[in-house]
Structure 1
Amino acid sequence: MVLVDNLSAARRETRQFSIGLEGSMASSQGVGIKEMVRIASQLSQGSMTFELYPDAKLGNGPKMIEMVQQGELDIFLGGAGYFASLDGRINIFDIPYLFENVEQAYQIMDSELGREMLDVLDNNDLKGFSFWENGIRSFTNNVKPINHPDDFKGLKTRTMPGNQVHEALWQGVGIATLPLPSGAIYAAIQEGTINSQEHPVSVIYARKLYEVQNYLSLTRHMYGPLIQVMNHARFTSLEKQEQDILLSASLAGAVATRNFSNENEAMFLEEMKRAGLQVNEVDAKAFREVMKPAIEHEFIAKNGDEWLKKINAMLAGNGR
């Protein structure tokens, strides 16, 4: 983490920053944003203030990224998959079963390779701040428990807008897909537009999707992080000490999201079970064998295998 001193009184100047996010303030995203704001305010002695726009109030992920690029929004926090339209290699996180657990994902994101991944956004009028926790995704639906990949067939699920790899993953196992912002999922299920979705447990809980879904199958098929970015020109216009404050605060927010998700997942599951959600474990091997090879092959064909080789080498070094 970048260490910074408080801004001196002589150099203190009021700065206001706008932050857009798709998640609610009750989600891990909201918890992290609150911590980021607290740290930035503390280190700047109150000279940095923030205007927050949660719940996709400014539009979906691609729309808010565009707003940041154009200087209409200072900071955005959203799924890594949204940034794949800027550099397809970022779709690497959409390869199912790339990581066996969150610790492996943290190892990669906290490494020099993780910083390299964020830095590719510099070419797109963005400054990549940090990776935030979203968690390992699992699958919910209204029809039946998912025990085998064949059980996916005939369902209709939501995919991330603009994420072709995400669509290919689900279409490849026989699911019809519909791109929707995450904030529209609850209503779409209620209306019967879709009958399934996939998110980390903490998001399923925060968005109360268990109220409109009957089954949660713990497929744990994908670790999809969030990325926080800032308008590049606005960032470089700040003094070095102010830049360091924002970077430190962003990292503090990222850590807060990890702690929130990991410390509360078991409680979230129990509360959703008590609310009537049926939860089942699955044999990950069967899902990995069906889902991973095709998406991995498609990713390599479009984006090369440099990052994938680096990830596999790093994880192999730790006994993968």
Structure 2
Amino acid sequence: MKKSWQRKSMLAMALLSMSLLIFTAGCGGNSSDKKAASTDKQGVVTLSWAHGSSPEDRLGKASENFKKNVEKKSKGTILINHYPANQLGSEREVMEGVSLGSIDCGVISSAVVAGFSKSVNVTNLPYMIENRQKGWKIYDGPFGQKLGALTEKEGGWKFLGWAENSLRQFSNSKREIRTPADMAGLKIRTQENDVHMKIVNDLGASATPIAFGELYTALQQGTVDGQENGVALTYSMGFAEVVKYMTLLPHIYDPYIVAISKESWNKLSPEQQKIFQECVKEFIKDERNLNEQNDKEFLSIMEKKNGLKTYTPTAAEAAQFKEATKDVEPMIRSKAGDEIVDAFKKAVAES
């Protein structure tokens, strides 16, 4: 499965490269011309839409649905060039491009966004959101709008909404994890994010930052014993082939930000802006629903086909994980600020 996805990704990259070469030769420009918004004489605006997931992933599928929807509803006055699988660069590079205006739209995970908007560090406060329905309510409500507005101010883009990355779960190749004591000695891959690393280290494991593209090999070769990603991504990336155990206790509800560069947004007419925002709202609902369906379907497949053993901690066991990571909050407060952390905790309590 992983090799099949890699072949498709390589083919997509090759086709993209050929397209860019043809475009450059014909117009005398460079590849960046294809990434930024353009408006033709008929008022048609073409926008790039980029993310890091494969075309076959729920984000890739929802993005294709979004492309069709916005082009139909705008009657062809907004066209979308969809770039999945990091075709325009890593998530960090895409987020930087959206901030600078060289890439139009990005759907980016919160851990990466936190590098551009300090307030987004609040999304990494562990063991606060135990299910996705609660996450949807929090991020669609006043707190989510407040945080989105802060990202605009700090990151320099136009905030459009919060989609869903995943409920991040621990999985590993060594043993079942019921309590933090079971994590002792395990090497767990994390993103290069100091909050994620502290969570893992405080639970007794050893946080090991590794590039996502190298994770399968790292698990296969034993460079790391485990990882912390959602169910759907664990399946779609073939990680169930190299891990044996998954603990169904999400430590983070990880949202995706949906953002557009301010320059690109301003190229849309008021009517186009309205259509685009409505279609983003529909995209978010679609992507979340696909993610929820995938989690149920893929978990069952991994258990039956790959022999993945899953465990759901009891309330008493879950409390141990929360207690072990209590020192993460002061770290997040120092990064995001007390006001947004208090607003998040209030939203959680009221949801």
Tell whether the structures are fold-level matches, with TM greater than 0.5: yes
In structure 2, what is the Cα distance between the partners aligned to 1:56 and 1:193?
A: 24
Partner of 1:267: 297
In structure 1, what is the Cα distance between the partners aligned to 2:103 and 2:350?
A: 41
1:210 is matched with which residue: 240, 244, 255? 240
Q: Does 1:154 align with 2:185?
A: yes
Q: Does 1:233 align with 2:256?
A: no
User: Could you say what the CA RMSD is over the residues aligned between the two structures, in angstroms?
Assistant: 2.0
In structure 1, what is the Cα distance between the partners aligned to 2:337 and 2:159?
A: 22
Structure with the larger helix share: 2
> How many residue pairs end up in the alignment?
306
Secondary structure, in 3 states, of the residue corresponding to 2:82?
strand
Partner of 1:90: 120
Q: Does 1:118 align with 2:145?
A: no
Counterpart of 1:299, as a letter, is I
- The structure-2 alpha-carbon separation of the partners of 1:240 and 1:73, relative to structure 1 and needing over 3 Å to count, comes to same
Partner of 2:332: 299
How big is each residue's C-alpha offset from its partner over 1:91-150, in whole Å with a ceiling of 9 and x where there is no partner?
Answer: 111111112322221122111221121122323331111100123111111111111112
Partner of 1:188: 218
Partner of 1:106: 136
| Residue segments in structure 2 that go unaligned for 5+ positions in a row | 1-40
- The structure-2 alpha-carbon separation of the partners of 1:228 and 1:165, relative to structure 1 and needing over 3 Å to count, comes to same
In structure 2, what is the Cα distance between the partners aligned to 1:18 and 1:317?
A: 38
Counterpart of 1:51, as a letter, is N
In structure 1, what is the Cα distance between the partners aligned to 2:166 and 2:182?
A: 23
Partner of 1:3: none
In structure 2, what is the Cα distance between the partners aligned to 1:146 and 1:121?
A: 35
Indicate conservation of the 8 Å contact 1:22/1:183, yes or no: no
How far 1:297 moved relative to its partner? 2.1
Return the structure number with greater relative CO, CA threshold 8 A, min gap 6: 1
Indicate conservation of the 8 Å contact 1:61/1:181, yes or no: no
Counterpart of 2:336, as a letter, is N
In structure 1, what is the Cα distance between the partners aligned to 2:77 and 2:91?
A: 28
Partner of 2:87: 57
Partner of 1:280: 311
In the superposition, the TM-score normalised over structure 2's length comes to 0.81
In structure 2, what is the Cα distance between the partners aligned to 1:184 and 1:71?
A: 29
Indicate conservation of the 8 Å contact 2:160/2:277, yes or no: yes
How far 1:18 moved relative to its partner? 1.2
In structure 1, what is the Cα distance between the partners aligned to 2:152 and 2:349?
A: 30
In the superposition, the TM-score normalised over structure 1's length comes to 0.89
How far 1:286 moved relative to its partner? 1.9
How far 1:21 moved relative to its partner? 0.8
Indicate conservation of the 8 Å contact 1:122/1:232, yes or no: no
Partner of 2:161: 130
Indicate conservation of the 8 Å contact 2:120/2:336, yes or no: no
How big is each residue's C-alpha offset from its partner over 1:143-167, in whole Å with a ceiling of 9 and x where there is no partner?
Answer: 1111111222222222223x22112
Counterpart of 1:170, as a letter, is V
Partner of 2:323: 289
How far 1:185 moved relative to its partner? 2.0
2:349 is matched with which residue: 304, 309, 316? 316
How far 1:207 moved relative to its partner? 1.6
In structure 2, what is the Cα distance between the partners aligned to 1:72 and 1:104?
A: 35
Counterpart of 1:271, as a letter, is I
